[in-house]
Structure 1
């Protein structure tokens, strides 16, 4: 089983945090988003993950080494593939065409999920979906009475289905997917200036391939700051039966309202932290009240009352209560 992770986008909706770190490498409760994604996929796949391709921009050798380590930690061979132009989802997947053979999972790196099923690798394909209240803002699938997908509709103005595609797909025959993606590009089949994966899916369905939905319990978006803070809170809640505090963390005259994640060498003094707070390694928090927030590495926080906030790496900050989104190396 192979995994392809398109992640070449600049993450503009997550700025300023993505000015120094690619969005998929932003940690959620101590682990980068992309690491959580591939681990979650591995947990629902029946087969061993042999290869993981990360389709990236030119993010530099340090980022590439971190991505290759993510693959290595799962016992898989890592591959770095480049998408130098933002030409759409179909184009992004085809940038990893050397892996488009046999069983393949495609997973876009701005989403996480919670599921308790093992998907059937004998199906032609499985598209992860979740039921939503307002389908008009998402791509949805239509299914027949046998539970087989019959069509793919992008942001329907009228109700056709409430099963939204969350951006994770399984294909039994990666070679067939590769041919359909190549067909789109060779014939310049473009929508909105981009080559779109649903066009390839529709062609495959019309040729008789049967795709079925794999419905997840919860779909967690990491597309912007508010969504990422919410996702952090849900991940902490999922793991609330575990101790999420590193043994090196020092807590002095403080209250920790679980669930919280405290990384290596975190210091909490005279503060109230939590619930739903992740504080990453080498960060110090003093005289503060922080809840429902993410604080990244090597940061010093004093006298802060924060909620629904993200605070970056190497920050020194002292302020009145605010709804924050602060980038790396900020000082105030």
Structure 2
């Protein structure tokens, strides 16, 4: 998660993209917890690969996510954007035993039993436009036999979502070290696929783990959409989404909505598919399909498909404004 998330600016100018909240929880926290749910066993360690300038507060927040799962939190730094293979090797001290590796800007919903007898499992999702993704091809034994990046001709419609299980991570570490030593690069980057292909050439078996839903958080529009989809899943699962300390005064809440601790909704209609962060005040407004973070204030607004950060102020009847880089009023 060392990338800066430039496509999600201005929201990632102050915090890394994986800490953007989706339905009230940071993306990376939801990802870690959902992986833990699928694995259904104790997790010993959660290792994060970040940029060194993310700051001490971010590092402590990440360690707390691990601690909440009864695990040790470890921090590693990737100082240069040299690809997924390089990022994984930045955490090589943690690469031993059974391990899941995940890219921290994607969320998922899955209901399958992980095949822990396989040497590795690559999680995939059936997609309509496989030419836009890396895809896997399967043999007659339902084992992965090929990995193709953005195929021009149809190979498979099973897209790799960026989550992998390895029964023994030390094997991947050995193969990725060989990739780095050989300076085997694509577009100036070292890729995990080259380590995987070397494992396959030595007889290791890879199987697919098919997920039901795959949600991206790459830019503002898809992040707002993902927030809404996650709220819908949580509502179906019976999650409690409105904090008891939230103050609702002449407010209409159309579910699903997440309303954080001590938020105030006054003379307003909120929902569906809206997240309101802790301490945020919404007054005299109508808001749907939007994501508003902590301690912000929105008044006199008609918002749809909106994303507002922390400690922001937006008045729909604005005249005096102060707008910085990468901001939009549409």
When normalised by structure 1's length, the TM-score is 0.94
Q: Who is 1:301 aligned against? A: 298
Structure 2 stretches lacking a partner, 5+ long: none
Aligned partner of 1:17 among 11, 16, 34:
11
Instruction: Report the alpha carbon displacement of residue 320 of structure 1 after superposing the two structures with TM.
Output: 6.7
Residue 281 in 1 paired to residue 281 in 2?
no
C-alpha change, 1:331 and 1:139, in structure 2 (3 Å) is closer
Instruction: Report the alpha carbon displacement of residue 242 of structure 1 after superposing the two structures with TM.
Output: 2.8
Instruction: Report the alpha carbon displacement of residue 254 of structure 1 after superposing the two structures with TM.
Output: 1.5
Q: Kindly report the root-mean-square deviation, in angstroms, between the aligned alpha carbons of the 2 structures.
A: 1.7
C-alpha change, 1:72 and 1:327, in structure 2 (3 Å) is farther
2: CA distance, partners of 1:207 / 1:36: 35
Residue 246 in 1 paired to residue 206 in 2?
no
> What is the CA deviation profile of residues 166-222 of structure 1, one whole-angstrom value per residue up to 9, with x for unaligned ones?
000000111110011101110000001100111111111121111000000000111
2: CA distance, partners of 1:76 / 1:244: 26
Q: Which portions of structure 1, spanning 4 or more consecutive aligned residues, are displaced by more than 2 angstroms?
A: none
Q: Who is 1:156 aligned against? A: 151
2: CA distance, partners of 1:318 / 1:233: 24
Q: Who is 2:76 aligned against? A: 81
Contact 1:301/1:317 (8 A) holds in 2: yes
C-alpha change, 1:327 and 1:63, in structure 2 (3 Å) is farther
Count of matched residue positions in the alignment of Structure 1 and Structure 2: 321
When normalised by structure 2's length, the TM-score is 0.95
Q: Who is 1:4 aligned against? A: none
1: CA distance, partners of 2:146 / 2:41: 28
Aligned partner of 1:115 among 102, 110, 115:
110
Aligned partner of 1:101 among 96, 100, 105:
96
Instruction: Report the alpha carbon displacement of residue 299 of structure 1 after superposing the two structures with TM.
Output: 0.5
Q: Who is 1:207 aligned against? A: 202
Structure 1 stretches lacking a partner, 5+ long: 1-6
Contact 1:15/1:327 (8 A) holds in 2: no
Q: Who is 1:260 aligned against? A: 257
> Secondary structure at 2:187's aligned position in 1?
coil
> What is the CA deviation profile of residues 50-76 of structure 1, one whole-angstrom value per residue up to 9, with x for unaligned ones?
001000001110110000000000100
Aligned partner of 1:8 among 2, 16, 35:
2
Instruction: Report the alpha carbon displacement of residue 327 of structure 1 after superposing the two structures with TM.
Output: 8.0
User: What does 1:114-263 align with in structure 2 at a 5 Å threshold?
Assistant: 114-240=109-235, 241-263=238-260
C-alpha change, 1:28 and 1:188, in structure 2 (3 Å) is same
Instruction: Report the alpha carbon displacement of residue 230 of structure 1 after superposing the two structures with TM.
Output: 1.1
> Secondary structure at 1:270's aligned position in 2?
strand
Q: Who is 1:35 aligned against? A: 29
1: CA distance, partners of 2:40 / 2:263: 38
